[in-house]
Amino acid sequence: MKEIKGIFLLDTSALFTFIEDEEGADIVEKALKQRETLIPWPVLLEMYYITLQEEGQPEADKRLVLIKQLKVHLLYDLDEATLLTAARLKALHRVSLADAIIAAYAVRHGAMLMHKDPEYESLSGSLTLKPLPYKSTDGGRKSPPKKL
């Protein structure tokens, strides 16, 4: 399999691609094994509340603990420069607030944003994107969620 290089920042959709073993999970797994992979706090927030809604608190807690054990850099601080970058992205593009914040972290860290979210396409000129294969439009999961 082809090696991937660079600094990666995972969007929530990329993290779920790995957790649920969707198409592209192998690419995310390679990024997770690299020294320079970043996960910002909004991704943790979204992963936790979505898992809480769909799988319950024990699974949400388990996933959070296991993600914190990965050899990635968890980004909890939001400085003024990142905040203003997010504000500009939100003002100029049709993206959610969470996606604007996540993208701002990628911009500020010079990272490639790995995602499976078509909403990021509007940001293609503002940062480097690494889109994963999008889910099929039938709405069904290809496989059951992987228990971390």
Q: pLDDT tens, 81-97?
A: 999 999 999 999 989 99
pLDDT at 148: 47
Residues of the chain with pLDDT under 70: 1-4, 136-148
DSSP bridge pairs for 148: none
Q: Which domains does the chain have, with CATH numbers?
A: 8-131 (3.40.50.1010)
- Does residue 90 sit in helix, strand or coil? helix
pLDDT at 134: 85
pLDDT at 137: 55
Residue 38 backbone phi and psi in degrees, to 5: -115, 145
Specify the DSSP element, H or E, that contains 99.
helix 97-109
The half-sphere exposure of 64 on its side-chain side, counting CA atoms within 13 A, is: 19
User: Which position has the token pair 């914190």?
Assistant: 68
CA 53 to chain centre: 18
- Does residue 71 sit in helix, strand or coil? coil
Cβ burial, residue 144 (10 Å; 0-12/13-18/19+): exposed
